[in-house]
Amino acid sequence: MFFRKKDFRHYQNKGEQLLASGHFAEARIAFIDALDRFDRNNPADGSEVRLRELLARAGNHLAAHNIEEAIAAQRAGDGKKAHEHLELAIELADDVTLREKADKLIAGMIREQDEVEPHAHGSSCTGCSSHRHTVTATPGNTDDFLSEHDRFELLMQTLPENLSSRYMGLGEKFASSYLLSSEGNHRESLARYLEILNDEESDIVLYEAAVQYHHLGDLPECEAFLERSYRLNSSNLLCCIGLVQLYCDTGRHEVALQLLATMIETGIEKEQALLYMGDIYRDTERFDKAIDCYSKMLAGPYARDAAERLVPLLEMSGRSTDAQALFKRYLKGCC
């Protein structure tokens, strides 16, 4: 049963779970694996179409993330890195709008380069080189090529789908506050979030305000806002994980474990919660409990992550045969 051959549905299901939890790169790999195993001589109705739609969606999420990384790199003055992210975005994107935005940014970077560097003189062959590989754009010019609305939309595409739609519906003031945070202006972003909260409480705005407090080094306020957010909406995944991480960072592992147990019981990203739980047990040297958590995940979307953690624990526990079998099954040939 454990070693039975997996068909395309296994990898499709795995990919869908990864996509829903925001693990876009892993989801894309799973959908590619599913397509590789798809029997086109005996297809289920619409299955291949569905797979290609899912693959495209994962690629679009990754493309959006790379465009935002390019914006950050350009703002930091690293034009070469920005260009690499944009080229990758063009390769990954199925959505023509995303490809056009990446192309627009590249064109803008080239235009800036033309303005800041004189043309080559005389017969120098450097004048023939491609701009696409010599861009050294200056910081801060990206805003000329993407509107705030476009940049906010790109950031939203990196969130889990069930949250991105909620974020998009919070209005322009929230969007501008979110963009300020993405640019590192945490104090100003926090001030705007607090203004929004004066009118109405929202679990998302409370969570984002907590993030700003964390950036500013105010952990008590960060915790207070996270807990207010959790009381408003205990199913907000980002809030749950934020609290777990904060509890662990401040040495309250048992409190973190209690919250993770609640997540598992209520079905909030059970696999991800199990992974965090296993990590806490491992880090606090309760290895038998860590092994139990990771073992429960071997049939789910985080099987490889669990196996990577299990192998050394099994070796340390004297279960070398089990560790070798696990390595061969899940990790052999993985880079």
Share above pLDDT 70 across residues of the chain, in percent, rounded to a whole number? 82
Q: Give the model confidence (pLDDT) of 167-203 as tens digits.
A: 989 999 999 999 898 888 999 999 999 999 999 999 9
CA neighbor of 13 nearest in space, from 244, 329, 301: 301
Q: Give the model confidence (pLDDT) of 198-227 as tens digits.
A: 999 999 999 999 999 999 999 999 999 999
User: CB under 8 Å to 99, separation ≥6 — which residues?
Assistant: 63, 89, 90, 93
Strands (E), 35-83: none
Quote helix, strand, coil % in the chain, to nearest 5: 75, 0, 25
Residue type present at position 19: L
Average pLDDT, the chain: 81
Q: Does position 139 have pLDDT exceeding 50, yes or no? A: no
237 to 207, 269, 296, 306: CA distances (angstroms) = 11, 8, 21, 20
Q: Does position 116 have pLDDT exceeding 60, yes or no? A: no
pLDDT at 53: 83
Neighbouring C-beta atoms of residue 303, cutoff 10 Å:
18
User: CB under 8 Å to 119, separation ≥6 — which residues?
Assistant: 127
pTM to 2 decimal places: 0.66
pLDDT at 132: 32
Q: Lowest-pLDDT range, 92-106, 141-155, 173-187, 298-312? A: 141-155
pLDDT at 163: 84
